[in-house]
């Protein structure tokens, strides 16, 4: 009786259980795929902020909010106080602005979700690219025309290297001014 029961589990339940586990693994693999592979990854953000409206239509300079691009390793994401330079007056009655004002008055940082993120073992510096004239578009796509940011380039090592080896052709607008980027391991893994 005991053994029969076990046999039944092994013959019927076990294959079913394994099947369910395989499906679950496959599903989580597929669901999280874009996040790992990068391209297309578009997390939902805590406030419906639009680059198309602010950087595109209102023509606010990227540097007004991403203050680090010319002088630091990180571009930086603006704090609520930068938004409040305008939104202490603009559109204060709108639901998304009410959320913004609440983060600001509570002193809670807005929990923006990162779209582009390298592992700690790789070194990238915005300023050394941006001051050479390399436009954001080459790495982040046409942000000024995007309602919501999604990943346009997966920063696998090969993506960095393919531009570093062929900067003239990848950045034709910079002409002969631009040198190739470094390809030694220690330049990017410090």
Site for ligand HEC in 88-127 (CB under 6 A): 90-91, 94, 96-97, 100, 112, 114-119, 122-126
Q: Which is nearer to ligand HEC, 33 or 91 (CB)?
A: 91
Per the CB < 8 A criterion, the answer to whether 100 and 87 are in contact is yes
Residue where the block lists tokens 């990180």: 74
Per the CB < 8 A criterion, the answer to whether 113 and 149 are in contact is no
Question: Per rule CB under 6 A, is residue 86 in the interface with ligand HEC?
Answer: yes
Question: Per rule CB under 6 A, is residue 9 in the interface with ligand HEC?
Answer: no
Tell which residue, 127, 188, 190, has the closest CA to residue 155: 188
| Lookup: tokens for 65 | 């909010």
| Lookup: tokens for 52 | 């198309």
Shortest distance (Å) from residue 158 CB to ligand HEC: 8
Tell which residue, 167, 161, 168, 163, has the closest CA to residue 185: 161
Segment 135 to 174, residues that bind ligand HEC, using CB under 6 A:
136, 138-140, 143-144, 149, 155-157, 159-161, 163-164, 167, 170-171
Contact letters for ligand HEC, residues 10-49 (x by CB under 6 A)? -----------------------------------x-xxx
Segment 49 to 68, residues that bind ligand HEC, using CB under 6 A:
49, 51, 53-55, 58, 60, 62, 64-66
Q: Which stretch binds ligand HEC (CB under 6 A): 2-10, 14-22, 28-36, 85-93?
A: 85-93
d(CA 60, CA 50): 12
| Lookup: tokens for 179 | 């040198």
d(CA 80, CA 101): 8
| Lookup: tokens for 68 | 């680090």
How many residues touch ligand HEC under the rule CB under 6 A: the total is: 76
Q: Which is nearer to ligand HEC, 4 or 186 (CB)?
A: 186
Q: Which is nearer to ligand HEC, 3 or 119 (CB)?
A: 119
Q: Which is nearer to ligand HEC, 19 or 133 (CB)?
A: 133
Radius of gyration of the chain (CA): 24
């Amino acid at each position: 009786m005991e053994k029969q029961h076990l046999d039944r589990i092994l013959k019927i339940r076990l294959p079913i259980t394994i099947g369910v586990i395989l499906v679950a693994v496959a599903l989580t693999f597929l669901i999280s795929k874009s996040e790992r592979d990068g391209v297309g990854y578009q997390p939902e953000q805590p406030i419906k902020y639009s680059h198309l409206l602010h950087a595109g239509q209102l023509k606010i300079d990227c540097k007004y909010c991403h203050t680090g691009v010319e002088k630091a390793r990180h571009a930086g994401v603006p704090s609520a106080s930068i938004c409040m330079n305008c939104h202490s007056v603009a559109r204060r009655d709108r639901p998304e602005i009410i959320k913004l004002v609440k983060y600001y008055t509570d002193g809670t940082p807005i929990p923006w979700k990162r779209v582009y993120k390298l592992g700690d073992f790789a070194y990238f510096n915005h300023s050394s690219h941006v001051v050479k004239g390399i436009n954001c578009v080459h790495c982040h796509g046409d942000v000024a025309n995007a309602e919501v940011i999604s990943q346009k380039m997966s920063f696998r090592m090969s993506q960095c290297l393919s531009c570093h080896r062929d900067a003239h052709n990848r950045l034709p607008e910079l002409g002969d001014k631009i040198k190739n980027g470094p390809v030694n391991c220690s330049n990017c893994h410090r």
